């Protein structure tokens, strides 16, 4: 391998690293924006509950956070969401269905 090839490989690697860093920074900025919006929408207890949901089930967190942000942008939230209201929203958006097994 000559020095020209090695230099080209280094440049490619450097560009890849820069792109990954840029993507990571963009993702962090979006995450911070969502977090600040949720702080405006939710009371502290509800925010804490949603944070716990996030640790357990990222998909459900994204679904609920997205719904809350959409409601806020549409102007349908008149006050901050409290813990009880968040529980109700979580239940409504829950996709769990009760399964019963009948044996003969």
Q: What is the dihedral of CA 63, 70, 39, 20, to 10 degrees?
A: 60
Domains and CATH numbers, the chain: 3-87 (1.10.8.140)
Compute the distance between CA of residue 58 and CA of residue 31 in angstroms, rounded to an integer.
13
The two structure tokens encoding residue 70: 């959409």
**79-97 pLDDT, tens per residue?**
999 999 999 988 888 766 6
pLDDT in tens, 8-60: 999 999 999 999 998 999 989 998 999 999 999 999 999 999 999 999 999 99
The predicted structure's pLDDT at residue 15: 93
């Amino acid at each position: 391998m000559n020095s020209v090839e090695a230099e080209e490989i280094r440049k490619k690697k450097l560009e890849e690293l820069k792109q990954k860093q840029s993507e990571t920074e963009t993702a962090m900025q979006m995450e911070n924006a969502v977090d600040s919006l949720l702080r405006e929408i939710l009371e502290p207890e509800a925010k804490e509950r949603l944070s716990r949901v996030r640790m357990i089930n990222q998909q459900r967190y994204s679904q609920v956070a997205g719904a809350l942000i959409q409601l806020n942008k549409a102007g349908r939230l008149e006050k901050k969401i409290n813990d009880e209201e968040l529980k109700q929203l979580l239940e409504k958006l829950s996709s769990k269905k009760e399964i019963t097994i009948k044996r003969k």
